[in-house]
Chains A and B, each alone.
Chain A
C-alpha cells in the first residue's frame, strides 16, 4: 500500500495539475457538488414538463414522488454502505423479505409488526456488515451471496406465492393515503430520513468516523477508531432503510411476492445514490442530494413514457440518461484513479 500512498505529490504542486483531481473542497467544483443533482433533476423535469405540459398539471410531481419514495430509501441505505467504501447488493432482496414478513405479521401483531420487521432486517443488514468487517469477506461477493439466500428465504416463507396483508392494512395506509404539499407522506418520510442521515454524517463523531473509513480505512484504523463497527452500522442502516422500503411496498400494494413489486430496486437504488453525487470510492456522500438522485432515476421511465418514446426504445433511453446524469453529478473521488 505504501508504494501507492507515497505517490501523492507534495502539496507544492497541487494535484490539480490537470484539473481532474480537483479536491471536492475547491469552490466552483464544490458548488456543483452541492447543486449538481438538483440541477440535473430540474433540467430533466423541465424537459418533460415542456414536452408534455399535461404531465405537470396532472400531478406528475406527485406520481414521481410515489415512485421515488421506495427508490430513495433503498438508495439512502446503499449510500451509507458506499460511504464506508463497500457495496450492498442484497438490499433489494431485503426489501422483498421485509415486505413479506410484514404482510404475514401485520394481522397477528398489528402495530408491533412494523417494529418487528424493521428489527429483523436491521439485524440481517448488521449480519452482512459483520461478515464484511470481521469475516473480511469483500462486500461485493458477500452480499451477492446473501442476495441469493434472502431470495430463497422470501420464497420459502411466502411459500412461493403472493402474500396479502389481510388485516390492519390501515396502519400503513397514511403513507400513500395522505399528502403534504401534494406529495405522499411516504416520500416525505424518505426526505426526513435523508436530512437525518446528512446531519448524522456531518455533526456526529460516528458520522465523521465513517467518512474517515471511507476515505482511508487504514488511517482510521491507526487512529484507534472502531472502523469495523462503523461498517456494521452502515450495513445495518442499509438493512433498516430497506425494511422501511418494504413497508412502503405493503402500503402501496397491500401484498408482496418474491418477484413482485420492489424486487428490482437494486439497480435503481445504486443509480440513484450515484446520480445523487455519492462517490463509489467512499467517503463522499450527500444524503440530501440523493433525494434528487432518486427523483431523477424515477423520472426517466415515467418521463420517457409521458413524452411518448416508443416502448421498445425506453430502456435504451434509460441507460443513456443514467450514464449522462452520473457523468454530470458523480462525486469524482478524492483521487484521480477511477475504476
Chain B
C-alpha cells in the first residue's frame, strides 16, 4: 500500500542502488567506524588534558554520566528499530522518578514501600509506555506526536505528585548512596546500565520480540504477511521503552537524592543523538543497541572532554552539534548515490 519506503517523513530510506550490505557479525557492529571515532575522541582529549582526562575519577564520572542515556538508549533503540520514535523519555523519567521518591523513605515522609517503590516507579513508566503504544497502534497516530503528548502527560504527573510542598529528599546513606558506590572499581550506576545493555542485546538477538522488532522495521506490510502480529509487538516495544525510561528516572532520582520533575532534563536529545551517531537508521530495521551504547559513550566523552578542555559553555552546544552532523555525514557518505532518498 505504500508508494514510499518510509513510514514517516523523518525516516531515511535504504539506498536505492547501493551494493547489498555485507553479512553482519554476531552483533550489530557492522563496521568499526563508530568504535574508532570513540577511541579518536578519547585520544584527542587525553592529549589535551593528560593530567585529568584519563584519571580514574574522571573515567568514573564519564561512566556514571553515561549510565542514564545508556539505559534509556536501550528502549529508544528498540523503538527506532521498528521505525517509530519515542519522545516521551523526559516526561516518563520525571513521573517515574517522582513516584519512586514519594513512595520510598523521604523527607516528606509520604510513604515507605522500600524496594516496592522502585517497582511502582517502573510501573508508572510501563503505563505511560502502554498509553503511547495503544494510541499509536490503535488510533494510528504517528508515534512522534503521541509520545510528544505523553512527554507532557508525564511531566504533568510528576508536577501533580510534587504538589506545592517542600522538596522530598532521600535520607543520606542507604539506597541513595548505591549508584555512586564502586564495585570492582566501577560505579554501580554504570554496572546497572551495562546490565541493561546486555539484556537489550540478548533480547535483540535471541527473542521473538527482538527479531520481530527488526522485521517490523524492515517492512510492516511483509511482517503482517508473515503472520507477525505487528501492532501487538509494536505495543510491547513501547512498553519496554517506557520501562527503560522509568528505570532511568528512578536512577536519576537516586543520584540527585531528591524528587524533581525535571530530573530527565536534556536526556531526550542526548539519547536520540546517540542512537543516530551510533548508526541506527531512523528508518528502522537497521542498527542495534550496541551501536547506541557506543554513540552514548561518544557523546558523554565529548561533553566531559570539552569541559575539561575549558571550552566556553556558550559554544559547547555548537561543538556537539557539529560532531553530530559530522558523524552522520561520515557514516552515510559511502551510501551516497544520486538515487538515494534521505528524509
A and B touch in the complex (CB under 8 A): yes
Asked if A271 lies at the interface with its beta carbon under 8 angstroms from chain B, I say yes
Task: Among A86, A136, A141, A323, point to the contact of B325 (Cβ < 8 A).
Answer: A141
- Chain B residues 132 to 153 lying within 8 A of chain A, measured CB to CB, are 135-136, 139-146, 148-153
In the bound complex, residues from chain B placing their C-beta under 8 Å from that of A323 are 135, 141, 145-146, 149-150
B159 proximity list for chain A (CB < 8 A):
312-313, 315-316
A141 to B275, alpha carbons, bound, how many Å?
A: 10
CB proximity of B67 to chain A, nearest CB, Å: 22
* Total count of chain B residues near the partner, CB < 8 A: 77
> When chains A and B are docked, how far (Å) is the Cα of A87 from the Cα of B87?
15
Given contacts A219-B3, A313-B160, A323-B135, contact A338 B141 (CB under 8 A): yes
Is B7 in contact with A270, judged by CB distance below 8 angstroms? no
CB distance from A49 to the nearest CB of B (A): 24
> A142 contacts B7, CB within 8 Å?
no
- Complex CA–CA separation, A120 to B143 (angstroms): 34
Residue of B3, B145, B329 near A280 (CB, 8 A) is B145
Q: B293 contacts the other chain (Cβ, under 8 Å)?
A: no
Give the shortest distance, in Å, between A86 (CB) and chain B (any CB).
6
Among residues 1 to 16 in chain A, which have CB atoms less than 8 Å away from a CB atom of chain B?
1, 3-5, 7-9, 15
**Nearest Cβ on chain B to A258's Cβ, whole angstroms:** 9
Q: CB distance B157 to A141 under 8 Å?
A: no
Is there contact, CB below 8 Å, between A338 and B140? yes
Residues of A within 8 A of B163 (CB): 312
Partner of A149, one of B6, B7, B150, B322: B322
CB within 8 Å of B: which A75-116 residues = 82, 85-87
Chain B residues near A135 (CB-CB < 8 A): 329
Once the chains bind, are B135 and A85 in contact (CB under 8 Å)? no
* Binary CB contact string for chain A from 130 to 158 against chain B (1 if under 8 A, 0 otherwise): 01110111111110111111011101100
Identity of the chain A residue whose Cβ is nearest the Cβ of B219 in the assembled complex? A4
Query: In angstroms, how far is the closest chain A Cβ from the Cβ of B225?
Result: 8
Contact with B along A159-181 (1 / 0, CB 8 A): 01000000000000000000000
- Smallest CB–CB gap between B238 and chain A, Å? 12
Q: In chain B, what residue has the closest Cβ to A8? A: B1
Interface residues of A in 302-339 (CB under 8 A from B): 312-320, 322-323, 326-327, 330, 332, 334-339
Residue of B nearest to A155 (CB): B314
**Is the pair B340, A136 in contact by a Cβ cutoff of 8 Å?**
yes
Contact between chains at B328 and A137 (CB < 8 Å) = yes
Q: Is A277 an interface position by the 8 A CB rule?
A: no
Residue A251 lies at the interface, judged by CB distance under 8 Å to chain B: no
Q: Within 8 Å CB of A146, what residues of B?
A: 321, 325
Q: Give the CA-CA distance A214 to B343 in the complex, in Å.
A: 9
- Known contacts A4-B2, A7-B222, A339-B83; decide if A137 and B318 are in contact (CB<8 Å): no
Contact A142-B328, Cβ < 8 Å, known A218-B16, A270-B145, A316-B157: yes
B342 contacts the other chain (CB 8 A): yes
* Contacting residues, chain A, for B12 (C-beta < 8 A): 138
Given A87-B10, A338-B7, CB of A152 within 8 Å of CB of B314: yes
Q: A39 within 8 Å of B by Cβ?
A: no
Q: Which of A149, A267, A312, A316 contacts B153 (CB 8 A)?
A: A316
Residues 316-343 of chain B, each 1 if its beta carbon lies under 8 Å from chain A, else 0: 1111111011001100100110011111
Known: A87-B10, A144-B324, A316-B153. A322 touches B3 (CB 8 A): no
Contact A319 B341 (CB under 8 A): no
At the interface, yes or no: B5 with Cβ under 8 Å from chain A?
yes
- Asked if A24 CB lies within 8 Å of chain B CBs, one says no
With both beta carbons as reference points, the residue of chain A lying nearest to B323 in the complex is identified as A145
Q: Is A335 a contact of B2 with CB atoms below 8 Å?
A: yes
Indicate if A282 sits at the interface (CB-CB under 8 A): yes
Which residues of chain A are within 8 angstroms of B84 by Cβ–Cβ distance? 339
Q: Is B5 in contact with A1, judged by CB distance below 8 angstroms?
A: yes
User: B162-191 CB contact bits vs A (8 Å, 1 = yes)?
Assistant: 111000000000000000000000000000
**C-alpha spacing A244/B333, complex, angstroms:** 35
| Cβ-defined contact, B136 with A271, below 8 A | no
Return the chain B residue nearest A326 by Cβ: B145
B132 to chain A, nearest CB (A): 9
Interface string of A1-38 (1 = CB under 8 A from B): 10111011100000100001100000000000000000
| Residue among B83, B151, B315, B341 with the highest chain A CB neighbour number at 10 A | B341
Cβ of B64 under 8 Å from chain A? no
- Please tell me if A281 contacts chain B, counting CB pairs below 8 Å: yes
Contact with A along B227-254 (1 / 0, CB 8 A): 0000000000000000000000000000
B282 CB contact (under 8 Å) in A138, A148, A149, A317: A138
User: Are A138 and B9 closer than 8 Å at their CB atoms?
Assistant: no
How long is the Cα–Cα vector from A267 to B148 in the complex, in angstroms? 8
CB atoms of B148 and A138 under 8 A apart: no
| Segment 1-43 of B: residues with Cβ below 8 Å from A | 1-14, 16
* CB-based nearest A residue for B341: A217
**Chain A residues, CB < 8 A from B319:** 152
Distance, CA A61 to CA B78, complexed state (A): 44
**A317 / chain B contacts, CB cutoff of 8 Å:** 156
A residues in contact with B126, CB < 8 Å: none
Q: 20 additional contacts, CB 8 Å, given A135-B329, A136-B342, A337-B1?
A: A7-B1, A8-B3, A15-B1, A87-B9, A132-B342, A142-B325, A142-B328, A144-B276, A145-B324, A149-B322, A218-B4, A281-B8, A312-B162, A312-B163, A317-B156, A322-B145, A330-B141, A338-B8, A339-B82, A339-B85
Residues of B bordering A, CB below 8 Å: 1-14, 16, 82-85, 91, 135-136, 139-146, 148-157, 159-160, 162-164, 219-222, 225, 269, 272-273, 276, 282, 284, 314-322, 324-325, 328-329, 332, 335-336, 339-343
| Chain A to chain B contacts (Cβ below 8 Å), 29 pairs | A3-B219, A4-B222, A5-B5, A7-B219, A86-B9, A131-B325, A135-B329, A137-B332, A138-B276, A139-B10, A141-B325, A142-B325, A145-B321, A145-B322, A148-B322, A149-B318, A152-B318, A217-B341, A218-B339, A274-B142, A312-B164, A314-B156, A315-B159, A319-B154, A326-B146, A335-B4, A336-B1, A339-B82, A339-B85
The 10 closest A-B pairs by CB, nearest first: A316-B156, A148-B321, A319-B152, A339-B7, A152-B318, A323-B149, A319-B153, A335-B2, A148-B317, A145-B325
